A and B are shown apart, each in its own frame.
Chain A
Amino acid sequence: MPILGRERAREWETVWATLTRMDSLFAADPEGRGLSGMLSNLRGFLLDKFQKSDAGQPAVWYNLGFNPELIWALGVVPFCVSELAALSSIVGDQADTEAFIDLAESKGYSADCCSADKAGIGALLRGLYPEPACLVGINTPCDSQVAVVQAMAEQRNRVPLFVIDVPPYDDERTFRQVAGQLRELIPFLEKHTGRRLEWDRLRKVCETTNRTSQYLWDWMEWRSRAPTMQPSKVAAFTMVLMIGFSGSRWGLEIARALAEDARRKVETGARYFQEKARAIWYQDPVWWDIQIYDWMEAELGLVIPMDIFGYYASEAWIDTSSEESMLFGLARRMVNCHPMSRQFRGTMKRYIEDFMVLHERFQADCGILAGHIACKHSWGGIGLFKEACKKADIPLLVFEFDMFDPRILTYKELQFELKRFVEEMVLPRKGRAKPGAEHGRVGE
């Protein structure tokens, strides 16, 4: 399907065609308004990118831990390395993501690294992103980012690179250190894109981010109600939103759609299954088939009210009163709110504390550590995490899988793990503790 009247690479056209079909499908269904709001703004986001790229506007590449407000403010086109792979998995053809992964590995890109990055490099090697004016590389949330940035920089006979170094601490000094680097980044971006940053424009972008933040906090509040009425499969979208859309009107509209859909569903009170157990999904979502969350709800009565990728911490507010306060706010948000970067780059203390906070706030019965095999930081903390859960008397399921590659753990294997955990561990235990504790509103 052509985009803006022009033929594009098959992978982009597949994403576009699926998005268009899904959007019209959900738009016609009152229950699908939230998803439709997400999909239509995702389409708007992609159209804008193609329009700007067709017009020859400079593109800036970046990796998973960076938020693109400064790039939006310059009026140039942001491209996260994992963008097409994620879109292919969620709303395109999963086979394309796997083909990207295979291509990267065939060129020496290590199988030990994150599939989000492998697939991103595969897409770069296929020439599916526009030529970059420059690259912003950040070391968060994990070592895989340290590796992928270097591989991105090696493309196209060396892409000009600016590194943002985020220290592993959570204090003011760290925020100031990162804010100082954002200050340094501005002349770098200006030089390579040929654009000049207008601070008033950045202020507007930051205000958009603040409005987005408010919707995300509202969304979390609605999702914390038991039973959770909005589907589990959207619980992880804060992460996608922050990486790709942060500071854009599409991001704002997606957050608004999510929050209003969650509110409406709570107020309406009807849903298609009986909630029997609630789990905090910690680590990575099953991007290669998010329908598995529907299966979990329908077959097991298991709901994910919140996911580590969905959790939006309270330190996101950006004070737009001055240049310095904006850079400080952007830095603090990138360091302490960006899902994963917040929990993965420091010590296990923050990682464990956040889980406990989520478990209590979202009234969960258990935890599911979906152990993406590339997440060495979480696997490295698994013993301490298990101990903390045991001490808090929280049932925990841990398994190895890959968030973008079902060849590591298949759909059936994953179903088996989840079913066994819920039916043999969580529900019997819950029944012993609180008989009749299900949150049912079926048919109400």
Chain B
Amino acid sequence: MGKSAESSDALRALRAAVEAAKPEEAWRAGRPAVGYFCSYVPVELLLAAGLSPVRLRGLGQEDSSSGDAYLSHLTCSLVRHIAAAVLDGAYDFLAGQISVNTCDHVRRGNDVLVAKSDLAYHGYISVPHSLRAGLFPWYLEELSRLKASLEDHFQVRVGGEALNQAITRMNRVRERVQKLDDLRKGPAPRLAGADAFTALVAARSLPPERFVELADALIAEAETLDPIAGIRGRVLLIGGELDDPRFVRTIESQGALVVGDLLCFGSRGLGRVVEIGKDPLSSLARAYLHQIPCARMMDEFPQRWQALLDLYQASRADGIIFTRIKFCQIWANEVHNLRHRFETHPLPMLVLEREYGTVSTGQVKTRVQAFLERLETRRND
């Protein structure tokens, strides 16, 4: 039997970071931790303010009832789980949180946290729904206001030098994310998609230096692994929020290999390095606003489509698995728009709707099996 990543200490540490019930273990330096909701919040700003940014997640909460009581069952289950985690005390180490007008669900999650949690600080930014040049100054101003609010609340000053240092720290993370991405794309990948995805999710809750250390170790170990055998189909994973490597593992258990993603917790938000310059806040604003766009960016479907085509080709994919959390509307119609494009540029796609925090293993396996059979038939025709 060949050598696999299962024996990797680095992978085990990354998994532990993803599965940790309280990610503050990763932030032992004693800096105040601030949670944030969305990939349009520049974590560099928090790092430069001497804070520990933690991407808000459900933290393995099986029960979201405290969140459900305020948000209803028609709200995204990720937001309900986050609200429950905060209200139930799982995030009691946080000094505050930052929300974005990402979507209706996150806005209401923020309302609940503001009204009902004990968090001492609540930041907010309004991110434009378009990348049109005329809207850039608004986003920059919003970041500037967030910076002032952080400075005021935490009694710190965020200077240009500190921002550039934070950008440098996070660029090292971004470079590792790119390397992990490249490892997945190759003709004979040695790292399973679920393992690479574990690392990408961990990048959202580990200190940059710790992530870099573990990612470097994993990347080095991956070179020594045997290529993954028995691949029935190479697939891309795209869609809305997904932070659960178990879901990817379930997909891969049927013979699929996830060779790339365009996911918020995956490589979409961390895939490009940020320019270091005289005006670091502008650099950050430009880089964050112009990341591969989320579906909330109303005029950017063509750009997402092009990113998908590019990745599809670069990763030699055979098909696409689209996933979103039930009731998410901004990602809901990506399927309609993709199908529209498939009329002239056909690509095989499987659509999997999920609830956060549970993997309907049997259903997912059956759907993936059928999809892989379709890919094999297509290849053989």
> Chain A residues in contact with chain B, CB under 8 A?
104, 107-110, 112-113, 121, 137, 139, 142-144, 146-151, 153-154, 158, 161, 163, 165, 167-169, 177, 180-181, 184, 344, 346-348, 373-374, 376-377, 379-384, 400
Contact = CB atoms under 8 A, between A and B. Distances in A.
A59 B74 CA distance: 36
A184 B134 contact: yes
B302 interface: yes
A240 B128 CA distance: 27
A30 to B, nearest CB: 45
Contact of B107 (A154, A347, A373): A347
B112 interface: yes
B129 A163 contact: yes
Contacts of A110: 329, 332-333, 335-336
Query: Considering the complex of A and B, which 6 residue pairs feature the smallest CB-CB distances, nearest first?
Result: A380-B108, A383-B70, A110-B332, A163-B130, A108-B336, A143-B329
Contacts of A382: 70-72
A143 B104 contact: yes
A382 B80 CA distance: 13
B321 interface: no
A137 B132 CA distance: 13
A167 B329 CA distance: 18
B16 interface: no
Contact of A384 (B105, B112, B340): B112
Given A110-B333, A163-B130, 19 more contacts: A137-B299, A139-B129, A139-B298, A143-B105, A144-B329, A148-B333, A150-B299, A153-B301, A158-B302, A163-B298, A163-B299, A165-B130, A167-B138, A168-B101, A180-B134, A376-B75, A376-B104, A379-B72, A380-B104
Contact of B129 (A108, A165, A380, A383): A165
B337 A383 contact: no
A167 B299 contact: no
A146 B330 contact: yes
21 contacts: A107-B336, A107-B339, A112-B327, A139-B298, A143-B103, A143-B104, A146-B103, A148-B333, A150-B295, A161-B298, A165-B298, A168-B101, A346-B107, A376-B103, A376-B104, A377-B104, A380-B74, A380-B105, A380-B109, A380-B111, A383-B72
A309 B266 CA distance: 41
A284 to B, nearest CB: 14
Contact of A113 (B115, B132, B333): B333
Nearest to B134: A184
B330 A143 contact: yes
Contacts of A167: 101, 126, 128, 138
A348 B108 contact: yes
A105 B333 CA distance: 10
Contacts of B132: 163, 184
Interface centre among B71, B107, B296 (most CB of A within 10 A): B107
A262 B327 CA distance: 40
B301 to A, nearest CB: 5
B138 A151 contact: no
Given A147-B330, A376-B74, A384 B115 contact: yes
Contact of B301 (A112, A154, A165, A344): A154
Chain B interface residue count: which class?
35 or more
Q: Which of A149, A153, A346, A376 has the most CB of B within 10 A?
A: A376
B179 interface: no
A137 B336 contact: no
A312 to B, nearest CB: 23
A105 to B, nearest CB: 9
A108 to B, nearest CB: 4
Contacts of B126: 167-169
Contact of B333 (A151, A169, A184): A151
Contacts of A154: 301, 336-337, 340-341
Contacts of B336: 104, 107-110, 121, 151, 154
Most B CB within 10 A of own CB, among A169, A344, A384: A384
A142 B104 CA distance: 7
Interface string B82-95: 00000000000000
B1 interface: no
A379 B135 CA distance: 30
A79 B103 CA distance: 26
B327 A376 contact: yes
Contacts of A148: 333
Given A376-B74, A380-B71, A149 B298 contact: yes
Interface string B110-122: 1110110000000
Contacts of A168: 101, 107, 126
A373 B105 CA distance: 13
A148 B129 CA distance: 13
B33 to A, nearest CB: 24
Interface string B281-304: 000000000000001101101100
A148 B337 CA distance: 10
B168 to A, nearest CB: 31
Contacts of B327: 112, 376
Contacts of B338: 108
A161 B303 CA distance: 14
Contacts of B135: 165, 181
A146 B107 contact: no
Given A168-B126, A377-B108, A153 B70 contact: no
A402 to B, nearest CB: 12
Contact of B329 (A107, A112, A121, A381): A112
A15 B105 CA distance: 36
A153 B299 contact: yes
Contact of A146 (B72, B108, B298): B298
Interface in B121-156: 126, 128-130, 132, 134-135, 138
Nearest to B103: A143
B29 interface: no
B69 interface: yes
